[in-house]
């Protein structure tokens, strides 16, 4: 239950015990960068990461939930070319799993259940 650090300073933005935003509506791109930078190990968000994060946010806005892995891989394939439309590519960007790690940076709730 710490607050998010932005450039080493306490931003006052509350995270839950697993590092997800408590108030999802407070998300900004700056917060995504800070979440990635303070992750263990730290991640420097590239254009490729942002393409995923942007899709996740769009999907979440429409459906109030993170997309299924297959929905995500298909969307990435459509947008960036077929060779990127697979979970291997997504894991190369988000090694802890696109579902959980990418959702964290994108300010989505963590996917729960037997996943």
Partner 1 sequence: MADYEIPKVTGETGKLAVPAVEHDTMKGTGPWISKPHFQKEMHFPTDFEQIGGTTKYTLVDNWKERALDKLDDLRTRYRSLQVYLDICVKCGACTDKCHYFIGTADAKNMPVARQDLLRKVYRRYFTFAGKYFPKLVGAVDLTEDVVDDWYNYYHQCSQCRRCSVFCPYGIDTAEISMAAREILDHIGRGQKYCTEIMGKVHKIGNNLGLPQAALADTLEGLEEDVEWETGAKVKFPLDKKGADILLITPSADFFAEPHVDGLMGYAKVFHQAGLDWTLSSYASEGANFGMFIGSYENMRRIALRIRKAAQDLGVKRIVFGECGHAWRVAYSFLNTLAGPFDFLDPKYPVPQHVLEITWPLLQAGKLNIDKTRNDDKTLTFHDSCNIARGTRMGDKPGGQFDIPRNVIKAVCNNYVDMNQDTTHDATFCCGGGGGILTDDLMEIRVKGAAPRMEALKNVTENQGVTHMAAICAICKSQFTKVIPYYGFTMDQIVSVHQLVSNALILEGQLEYEKIERDEDDFY
Cα separation, 65 vs 87, in Å, equals 19
Which residue's CB is nearer to partner 1, number 54 or number 115?
115
69 binds partner 1 (CB under 8 A): yes
In the complex, least distance from residue 70 CB atom to partner 1, rounded to whole angstroms: 5
111 binds partner 1 (CB under 8 A): yes
24 binds partner 1 (CB under 8 A): no
20 binds partner 1 (CB under 8 A): no
Question: Are the C-beta atoms of 4 and 31 separated by less than 8 Å?
Answer: yes
85 binds partner 1 (CB under 8 A): yes
27: phi then psi, degrees, rounded to nearest 5:
-60, 135
- Asked if 103 is an active-site residue, the reply is no
Using only C-alpha atoms, the chain has a radius of gyration, in whole angstroms, of: 14
Cα separation, 62 vs 94, in Å, equals 23
The position carrying tokens 């239950």 is 1
115 binds partner 1 (CB under 8 A): yes
In the complex, least distance from residue 38 CB atom to partner 1, rounded to whole angstroms: 17
Cα separation, 35 vs 49, in Å, equals 13
Site residues for partner 1 per CB under 8 A: 1, 17-18, 62-65, 67-71, 74, 77-78, 81-82, 85, 87, 91, 97, 99-100, 109, 111-115
């Amino acid at each position: 239950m710490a607050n998010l650090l932005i450039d080493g300073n306490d931003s006052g933005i509350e995270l839950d015990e697993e590092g997800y935003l408590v108030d999802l509506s407070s998300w900004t791109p700056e917060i995504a960068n800070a979440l990635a930078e303070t992750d263990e190990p730290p991640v420097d968000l590239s254009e490729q990461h942002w393409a995923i994060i942007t899709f996740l946010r769009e999907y979440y806005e429409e459906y109030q939930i993170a997309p299924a892995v297959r929905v995500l891989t298909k969307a990435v394939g459509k947008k960036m070319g077929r060779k990127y439309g697979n979970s291997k590519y997504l894991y190369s960007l988000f090694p802890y799993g696109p579902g959980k790690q990418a959702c964290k940076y994108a300010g989505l709730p963590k996917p729960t259940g037997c996943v």
